Amino acid sequence: MEWHRLSGKIAGAAATGALLLAAGFALAGWMPGLLVPALALGVGALAYAAARRFLEVPLDHAHSALRQIHHQDFDALSANRQLPHDELGALLRRVDRTGQALEEEIEKLKRLENYRREYIGNVSHELKTPIFTIQGSAETLLSGALDDPDANRSFVEKIHRNAGRLDNLARDLSEISKIETGELQMSAEPFDVGELASDVLEAVESVAERKEITLRARLPDDLPRARGDRDRLLQVLTNLADNAIKYNSAGGFVEIVARLLPSDEIKLSVVDDGIGVDPDHVPRLTERFYRVDKSRSRSQGGTGLGLAIVKHILSAHDRTLQVESTPDQGSTFSFTLPLAEEAARRPFS
């Protein structure tokens, strides 16, 4: 329909030119001489103006837009310009929108490429330290320390500790990959929050005792059951509690708190009075391999993927991790869960 209207405009201009031309020939019999050339020139000018108005200028715009897209000059493409309100104008606007969509896709690919390079660099960096330690310890043992009873045990312990670090890194990388690709499916079953909190405290009890950290739970007696993947949520809370213990000092505490919200959700929090986090670092805590204090984080034995896994597990539950932290005062990591009865009507997708 649009092209029919365009054809009609051009045909109308041509018909007008033909009518003027016919009139010119009709008048030529009475006014020979300059009349015919003048009318012919007028008709030619009219035909040129019509062609330029309806074809040449829009096609120049189209050619310019395609050239800008080819050279990825998207800023020039998005600049405001006058386009005709006809079919060619609509086509040009579509070209502009295509260019803008292409710009967004190119920017997305650039971000993914930068992310890929950063991710590979981070993995490589995390692998180097334990591998170098294992290699160095093994070479020292082979060079004679193996026969020295005062030294060989120390080097074997280093090898064992760093081999465990490599194992943890490989396991975390595998797990986060499975979660992201959907290979690791989440279930949605009712469970008792109090029992979950008890299992978390039991899992981190030995670590807390070594650091002289007090563990406790604060939950209302009549707290209803929540709904979610209990095993994965156990992993979330254990990870948060373990971090709270690691970044705390002797005599501190770590507490699991649960309360019922007016929105008929249960809010679970891991609260500590540890070293806290500067507000500038909080938005990046769940990024892979992000460390606030790199040297301290590595000395604690973490892989830098724990909070990233937490984020992905909660995301699979349509939940987000909320962080409140004050340096030298402590941190609170929280998330909400639906009640078992409510979630039964709205299962996870």
Domain definitions of the chain by residue range: 2-105, 189-345
Q: Given a cut of 80, is residue 314 above it in pLDDT?
A: yes
The closest of 321, 233, 316, 323 to 276, measured between CA atoms, is 323
Q: Among 120-124, 174-178, 207-211, which is the least confidently predicted range?
A: 120-124
pLDDT more than 70, % of the chain? 63
Give 80 or 183, the one with higher predicted confidence.
183
Q: Given a cut of 60, is residue 191 above it in pLDDT?
A: yes
Residue 269 tokens read as 């929090």
Q: Output the average pLDDT for the chain.
A: 76
Distance of CA 73 to the CA centre of its chain: 26
Instruction: Please give the torsion angle defined by the CA atoms of residues 164, 169, 173 and 175, in that order, rounded to the nearest 10 degrees.
Output: 40
Confidence of residue 337 (pLDDT cuts 50, 70, 90): very high
Q: Given a cut of 60, is residue 333 above it in pLDDT?
A: yes
With beta carbons less than 8 A apart as the criterion, state whether 331 and 277 touch: yes
Residue 165's pLDDT is: 78
Residue 1's pLDDT is: 44
Q: Given a cut of 70, is residue 189 above it in pLDDT?
A: yes
Give 280 or 87, the one with higher predicted confidence.
280
Residue 249 tokens read as 């000092």
Residue 131 tokens read as 């591998």
Residue 133's pLDDT is: 84
User: Which are the contacts of 187, defined by CB distance < 8 A and separation ≥ 6?
Assistant: 229, 230
**For the segment 30-51, what is each residue's pLDDT rounded down to a tens digit?**
445 545 555 555 555 566 565 5
AA letter at 284? R
User: Which are the contacts of 237, defined by CB distance < 8 A and separation ≥ 6?
Assistant: 196, 197, 200, 256, 268, 270
Q: Residue 283 gets which letter from DSSP?
A: G
**Total-model pTM:** 0.60
Give 204 or 300, the one with higher predicted confidence.
204
Assess if CATH 3.30.565.10 describes domain 189-345: yes
Q: Residue 267 gets which letter from DSSP?
A: E
Residue 148's pLDDT is: 80
